[in-house]
Chains A and B, each alone.
Chain A
Amino acid sequence: MPMYGDLGNKLVQHAKRAQNLAQLPAYQTELVRAVTREVRDLDRDVASMLEPFQGSFDPAAEQATACTLLVNHLSMRRNKRCLLAYHRTRADKLEELVWSGSDVVDLAGQQQAGAAANSVPAAANDRQSSSLSPQEEDYVRQYGDLLAAYKGQWTDIDLTGSLDPPRDLFIDVRVLKDAGEIQTEYGAINLTKNSQFYVRQGDVERLIAQGYLQKLG
């Protein structure tokens, strides 16, 4: 017998799984909708239960009703917490991707091929191209702008750069994918696949993070 809060719990289990995955699994459109609907239904029940009392409800006189009201109220709060935690966990992951400089919306499109199998069949809407909800795509764009604005105040630092303390100023790298020409302080370098270079780490960190270069040694 399913009870209130069960669906919300399912949502949180999805969030738990997402925490341990490198990629963001498909957004649970249907489940989110169902849990939200449950909250609205509960709220309507509460309103209709209180209606006959015309604002003079006495919990001591109506204990059974008071108990049911409390259960409904707690169920709504529980669902709210589940929904918020689910969205927050995903938003955290999306922010991480923005910090690492990936083109998140693009990325989501690519990984959909693999994720489609896991998504609820009912969630197959027309724009079946992304594991992000449209709201999440908006959020990523807005957060990207926010981060860019904050970074812009620290242009000389490269805020999204490596958090490993600089030890080797120069490193050996191998080129994994053609990355074109980059400008360094020592002139231009043409990064063609399989070539190797001895370069300043600061100049190529981005390219390493994006998978164009591999650090050697």
Chain B
Amino acid sequence: MSYYDIDSILTDAEKIPCTFQLDVPDLGYLDNTPTQTLKTGSRVALPLWLAEMLAIASSSGGLDEQGKSFVTFDLPPALGNDVVQALKADPRAVPLRDQSAHFYGLATHMMDLSEEQELATVLRKTYVTRATEIALHARKVGGVGHHGKSSADEGSNLGVGGAGEEFLRGLDERERRLFRKAHDGAKAGKEWMENVKKH
């Protein structure tokens, strides 16, 4: 997490559902009613950069445990039960990008905010399974897979064709970075091998 990192700044703009725990006259605009008081119990989707601090800052001033938070929050739909069940069934079949372009970034933030043991386990397995799949695709796209298609397809139910493209389209930003790195690495390795042969 770096201050100047564009992706982590964009991740911080991801919104999560929050519920206000007090009346705030001046914040009606957050709920599309700029002239009215924001009432206790109003549910508003707030970006992480705002939600996180409002959730941990207590209304008694400092960051102590006394007093209640300004807001409470729930898991965003991207990490909701439907998605988690689908990930449990087959991590490769879920286009994470449709849930959030910064899926893992968002998930990491949520883990920091609350203990979600089960979710953490599912996500870790998701990442590892998908990373393997990504590495496989990265080699294929570079045209540097194994000889013939058969061995490259082992352990994967996705071919080079439509399904593979669909999988790649569904990568979140972190996975895209991984894909680019794996791809560049495979390509550089291939070029190096060819150069060695030449000389």
Contact = CB atoms under 8 A, between A and B. Distances in A.
B72 interface: no
A136 B49 CA distance: 29
A12 B34 CA distance: 26
B105 to A, nearest CB: 13
A23 interface: no
A19 B49 CA distance: 23
Contacts of B50: 5, 71, 74-75, 78
Interface of A: 1, 3, 5, 9, 12-13, 15-16, 19, 58-60, 63-64, 66-68, 70-71, 74-75, 78, 81-82, 84-85, 88-89, 167
B93 interface: no
A150 B25 CA distance: 57
Given A3-B29, A59-B60, A64 B23 contact: yes
B47 interface: yes
Interface string B1-16: 0011111011011000
A19 B10 CA distance: 14
B26 A64 contact: yes
B59 A66 contact: yes
A64 B24 contact: yes
B27 interface: yes
B9 A12 contact: yes
B6 A67 contact: no
A81 B22 CA distance: 29
Contacts of A78: 12, 49-50
Contact of A59 (B12, B23, B26, B59): B59
Interface of B: 3-7, 9-10, 12-13, 22-27, 29-30, 32, 34, 47, 49-50, 53-54, 57, 59-61, 67, 70, 195, 199
B30 A3 contact: yes
A89 B5 CA distance: 9
Contacts of B70: 67, 70
A64 B29 contact: no
21 contacts: A3-B29, A5-B50, A9-B13, A12-B6, A12-B13, A19-B6, A58-B61, A60-B67, A63-B59, A64-B26, A67-B27, A70-B57, A70-B70, A71-B30, A74-B50, A81-B9, A82-B9, A85-B4, A85-B5, A85-B6, A88-B4
B24 A67 contact: yes
Contacts of A64: 22-26
A119 B67 CA distance: 49
B22 A1 contact: no
Contacts of B26: 64, 68
B53 A1 contact: no
A201 to B, nearest CB: 15
A165 to B, nearest CB: 11
Contact of B49 (A5, A58, A59, A88): A5
Q: Which of A15, A67, A167 has the most CB of B within 10 A?
A: A67
B53 A60 contact: no
A16 B101 CA distance: 13
Contacts of A70: 53-54, 57, 70
A59 B12 CA distance: 26
Contact of B27 (A12, A13, A19, A68): A68
Given A64-B26, A67-B59, A70-B57, A89 B6 contact: yes
A100 to B, nearest CB: 19
Contacts of A19: 6
A145 to B, nearest CB: 24
